[in-house]
Structure 1
Amino acid sequence: MSMVPIAVWTAAAVCGAAGVQPGAVPGAERLDEPRLVDGMLVFPQDAAIPRFMTEAERRFVAQNPIVAARSGGAPTGPVQCPGEYEPMQAILLSWNGQASWLTIVTQMANRITRFGDAEAWIVVRDQATENSARTQLTNGNVDMTKVRFFQRRLDSIWIRDYGPRYIFEGDCRAIVDHTYNRPRPNDNALPAWLGPRVGHAVYTLPLIHGGGNFHLSSLGQGYATRLINNENPGKTEGEIIDLWHAFQNLDTRLFEPFPTTVDLTQHIDMWVQVFGDRRVMVSDWPLSPGSTQDLICDAAAEAFAGEGYTVHRVPAVTSGGTHYTYTNVVLCNDLVLIPSYTAGAASPYNAQALSAWSAALPGKTIFQVNCQALVTAAGVMHCIAMHVPAPRGGANPTAYVQSLNEPAVLERGSVFGLRWITDDDLGVGEVDLLLSTDGGATYPRVIASGIPDSGAFDWAVPDEYLPRCRVKVVVRDADGNAGHDANDADFSVGVCAADFDRDGFLDLFDVDLFFGCFEGLGCPEGADADFNGDGFVDFFDADAFLDAFDRGC
């Protein structure tokens, strides 16, 4: 049993959970919801919690509004947010929900590990759940050598909405973590918990959000619906867009959301999928021409085309309160998983959807997965999968030095906090910190050797003048593979006043500049001829300069 501020877990809750009845369509199953008990939410174990917010959760949020987490700041290095069509190391999945849902997860894991050239990272509640999952996955012919389990309790299966959004800072993967737009605390805590366990830095994005309401291209374009405005009433639309740019380096365009009578989530991944640089699939509505959702999709298709996209269309249907989408797909290297349905209103379009995706992505391996059991909970496969991009170093670890990337002067004999991040397919084992005193040509001095990869080190700065320094971080993994990075700009330890042109060298140019300044012919910016600082320019200043010059500072 896990006691948390918002959710309380009890075995009794499984039997006593209230139900949310989905639309009366073939294949629909009863959905569960948490119960309010003494002002707290009780989440049933292994329950079918829907993607949308249940009535119990709405009542709870009315009394306990969701508040965006406070941010510790955006990434400081160069950021690139990879599209879902980029090379992937893994697809992250949640082993949660009723048996029919886990059948879908098993089929996805089979395709990912057998045909997607990727790993399946699966979050399970505990060891007993892992044992059960192993049995089902093995029986489902999943390549178990490519499965990695993480034991952590979650509230729901909808990992797209609360899972880690990956970026690259430098050449290192890092996680951007928003506040989940549902009162599901175990779900919301996953990215911050996962980051340290896979060696990835985590940045807290101060937005309330559901990750399915976002698509992006690797060219720096992001897309969402204006649901994000409603979720963050204290921020303007411009402020929201600026936050996504600061954390993910994306210029984001917002579209109008579907009415909740069509789609309870109002997420863009229910009707859009960016599947390449300027290539996109957008829903079309053959049974609802001229409807609000049809007009929204047509306007979006026109907007994408205006941005230079090649736009493909695929049918969508709404029936019995269920939104049947064919854009909610999983891309994984050369694999594409698209949903199919058995409901009478949607099943005639399964073949048309397969044809549309085959035409859009020739040469890819495309599988249809029956998602009828899941779609009545307001989402399908994209909603229950999160992408983990492949490491840029391949088998070699990478590093990014976050400190001293602009010119700086460190005080001699002080203590300076060096900061860095790293990345590797297996995990970094140890780190060396090296110092260059010739602008990065060589690194003869060892600051620290064989230290743990903590990302931080308090450096005892030398008590000597060093005009042209750089710091290098060398990282090694368990297999002995190595990588490195150095800071981007020269910095100095101490200041040499006789280096009058501040170029890091003592030479006749400094003498010439000083005496020109001394004689009133002009001084370099920020310098003057009162070398001894007594308020007068006289012979004593010339003598002090020459003494410092001769001593080499």
Structure 2
Amino acid sequence: MRTFTLLALALWLTFGLTTKVHAQYPEWDDPNSLPKWMTPEEELRKHEIGLGFLPTSVPGGPVSNIAEFERMEAVLIRYPLGISLSLVAAMSQHVVVLTIVANQSTQTQATNAFQSAGVNMANVQFLVAGTNSYWTRDYGPWFIANGDDEIAIVDFPYNRPRPLDNAINGHVANFMNVPLFGMNVVHTGGNYMTDGFGISASTDLVWEENGNNQSWVLQQMQNYLGIDTYHVTMDPLGDYIKHIDCWAKFLDVDKILITEVPSSHPRYWAYEQIADYYANQISAYGTPYQVYRVYSPNGQPYTNSLILNHRVYVPIMNSTHDAPALAVYQEAMPGYEVLGFTGSWQSTDALHCRTKGIADKGMLRISHLPLTGIHEYQPHFEIEAEIIPYSGAALYADSLFLIYSANQGTFDTVMMSHVTNHTYAGLLPVSLGDTIVSYYISAADHSGRKETFPLIGPAGARSFEVIQTVLPGDANCDGLINVIDVIATVNSILGNNPEPFCPENADVNGDGVINVIDVVGTVNIILGG
């Protein structure tokens, strides 16, 4: 079911007289890139946005939009840079740095600069194409997994009259040799985030730039990206840009980071309304969002970070607020390496705006709806997952594992087996006395990929609580009372140690001793006595 929020409308009605946004652009003196905002000359050419864009047929379903926190094979940047060489060097140690350059001369300049900075050149690839700016986040590709079991790119009309930037997604698709789909919704990557499970979010800029045709936008988002729930809210920042990555970030399917400002801030009410809104929404996991707040008293762009596989690259400002901001990420994302980088950051533009993750086109993707909350004891819980090797390589049948622990103990392993299509399942054993059960999933395929769910592995293991309600007579703990329970109780009395066995249930008369009286009591329950 397609849904969207009317929060933006409600807030504009309440505060419409005081929230008019006035463009206050930072100073710009970089000759190598157009600014984040439209220049006066571009303002006169706004009618050119989307001209010449070629929509395509919709991808074959089901379609799933890939989240930033899923597996990436590369990061897309542009040279001349909008980020530091030290950041390029750091990223190059772990992923390919796909660098857009205009020509061979620029590629030579980039190579020399990268080598001097200690960049791992074995992980550098160049894409020769013209650009108007270095905002690869804003004009770069959005990735989907489609019904043909392939990774593809969804292109869109970039919300700037910048034809070179707007053509980049076609170049990336050709470079990667992946399908390209064209969704005729004017948009920008800085105003979009998705959870990989059919839920996405933007500010109401997306309505404004598409004639406020909300139902049409929602239909396109569903058709091309598989988005069923689209949270479209006001922009609490109240600045010219109206990009959601200036104040919010999905950290996981059920986690969102939102900027916090002092109560004296003129937009304090707006940030709190947004935080309250998300705290009352349900994530794709069926649980309320865990809302984390990062304190930004002077416009520090801490939410404008990049998640790249097992690392988070956070823009910092050489401020006393940097360390607490990094600590928030570490608390929210256990197991990730959180790294801070300085740069020419603004409150409306930072690290995330100038980088774009490139999904692994052969990813081994594990999709799973975690078991959460409180569950009545049972000897086994079935755990199902969809495991798709987008490389086309076969899975290793003997390397599909459900890895679990009880009461924060050591992890143990059971095999998962094929159910149907891409669905696999395993039985997670639970013993009496287990109250907190944690687990994650691991898989490997013949392409050499090994993957886990969650991506970060055991540090992100999902947990649920187990309780045991006494059910007199249910000696074997299966929730039923029948002759099997009589046999289990007799075996216990005889010292045969039946498994599973719930002594609290077998002790029908509650005297603390299991004996023939309890056997008689169980028989009477069966007979309705």
TM over 0.5: yes
SS at match of 1:281: strand
Residue range with higher mean Cα deviation, 293-302 or 80-89: 293-302
- Return the letter of the residue paired with 1:272: A
Inter-CA distance 424–393: structure 2 relative to 1 (3 Å threshold) = same
- Per-residue deviation, 1:86: 0.9
- Per-residue deviation, 1:57: 1.3
1:288 aligned partner: 265
Please tell me whether the aligned partners of residues 236 and 271 of structure 2 are also in contact (alpha carbons under 8 angstroms).
Answer: no
- Return the letter of the residue paired with 1:313: R
- Per-residue deviation, 1:392: 3.5
1:36 aligned partner: none
C-alpha offsets along residues 41-77 of structure 1, whole Å, 9 cap, x if unaligned?
xxxxx5242212222211232x646548341211023
- Return the letter of the residue paired with 2:290: T
SS at match of 2:341: strand
SS at match of 1:90: strand
Matched, 1:180 2:151: no
Distance 1:270 1:173 in 2: 28
Please tell me whether the aligned partners of residues 275 and 291 of structure 2 are also in contact (alpha carbons under 8 angstroms).
Answer: no
C-alpha offsets along residues 395-426 of structure 1, whole Å, 9 cap, x if unaligned?
xxxxxxxxxxxxxxxxxxxxxxxxxxx9759x
2:355 aligned partner: 385
Distance 1:72 1:341 in 2: 43
C-alpha offsets along residues 321-361 of structure 1, whole Å, 9 cap, x if unaligned?
xx43211110011111001114xxxx232122111111111
1:244 aligned partner: 221
Distance 1:64 1:370 in 2: 35
Matched positions, count: 345
Distance 1:68 1:214 in 2: 23
1:366 aligned to which of 338, 343, 354: 338
1:81 aligned partner: 65
- Return the letter of the residue paired with 1:310: Q
Question: Percent identity of the aligned residues?
Answer: 24
- Per-residue deviation, 1:182: 0.4
Please tell me whether the aligned partners of residues 68 and 179 of structure 1 are also in contact (alpha carbons under 8 angstroms).
Answer: no
2:89 aligned partner: 110
- Per-residue deviation, 1:386: 1.4
SS at match of 2:190: coil
C-alpha offsets along residues 295-321 of structure 1, whole Å, 9 cap, x if unaligned?
443234324467622111112245xxx
1:147 aligned to which of 124, 146, 151: 124
Please tell me whether the aligned partners of residues 212 and 268 of structure 1 are also in contact (alpha carbons under 8 angstroms).
Answer: yes
Distance 1:85 1:481 in 2: 21
Distance 2:39 2:231 in 1: 26
Distance 1:79 1:22 in 2: 38
Inter-CA distance 224–387: structure 2 relative to 1 (3 Å threshold) = same
Distance 1:82 1:192 in 2: 18
SS at match of 2:86: helix
Distance 1:333 1:65 in 2: 33
Matching of residues 47-62 of structure 1 within 5 Å: 47-61=32-46
Matched, 1:301 2:278: yes
TM-score with structure 1 length normalisation? 0.58
Matched, 1:375 2:343: no
C-alpha offsets along residues 240-280 of structure 1, whole Å, 9 cap, x if unaligned?
111111101112323333267x4321011111111112111
Matching of residues 168-317 of structure 1 within 5 Å: 168-169=145-146, 170-233=148-211, 236-258=213-235, 262-286=238-262, 288=265, 291-304=268-281, 308-317=288-297
- Per-residue deviation, 1:145: 0.5
Distance 1:231 1:68 in 2: 17
Instruction: Calculate the aligned-residue CA RMSD, in Å.
Output: 2.8
- Return the letter of the residue paired with 1:210: T
Inter-CA distance 165–50: structure 2 relative to 1 (3 Å threshold) = same
Distance 1:168 1:240 in 2: 20
Which consecutive unaligned segments of at least 5 residues does structure 2 have?
A: 1-22, 365-388, 393-445, 449-529
Matched, 1:349 2:321: yes
Residue range with higher mean Cα deviation, 265-274 or 73-82: 73-82
Matched, 1:162 2:139: yes
SS at match of 2:157: strand
SS at match of 1:374: coil
Please tell me whether the aligned partners of residues 236 and 267 of structure 2 are also in contact (alpha carbons under 8 angstroms).
Answer: no
- Per-residue deviation, 1:154: 0.3
1:404 aligned partner: none
1:121 aligned partner: 98
Distance 1:96 1:314 in 2: 31
Matching of residues 410-429 of structure 1 within 5 Å: none
Please tell me whether the aligned partners of residues 288 and 294 of structure 1 are also in contact (alpha carbons under 8 angstroms).
Answer: no
C-alpha offsets along residues 452-485 of structure 1, whole Å, 9 cap, x if unaligned?
xxxxxxxxxxxxxxxxxxxxxxxxxxxx989xxx
- Return the letter of the residue paired with 1:374: W
- Return the letter of the residue paired with 1:47: N
SS at match of 1:92: strand
1:518 aligned partner: none
C-alpha offsets along residues 181-229 of structure 1, whole Å, 9 cap, x if unaligned?
0011100011112212211100000111111111111221111111001
Please tell me whether the aligned partners of residues 255 and 300 of structure 1 are also in contact (alpha carbons under 8 angstroms).
Answer: no
Distance 1:51 1:296 in 2: 27
1:488 aligned partner: none
The structure where strand makes up a greater share of residues is: 1
Please tell me whether the aligned partners of residues 201 and 231 of structure 2 are also in contact (alpha carbons under 8 angstroms).
Answer: yes
Distance 2:126 2:35 in 1: 23
- Per-residue deviation, 1:166: 0.7
SS at match of 1:30: coil
Please tell me whether the aligned partners of residues 68 and 208 of structure 1 are also in contact (alpha carbons under 8 angstroms).
Answer: no
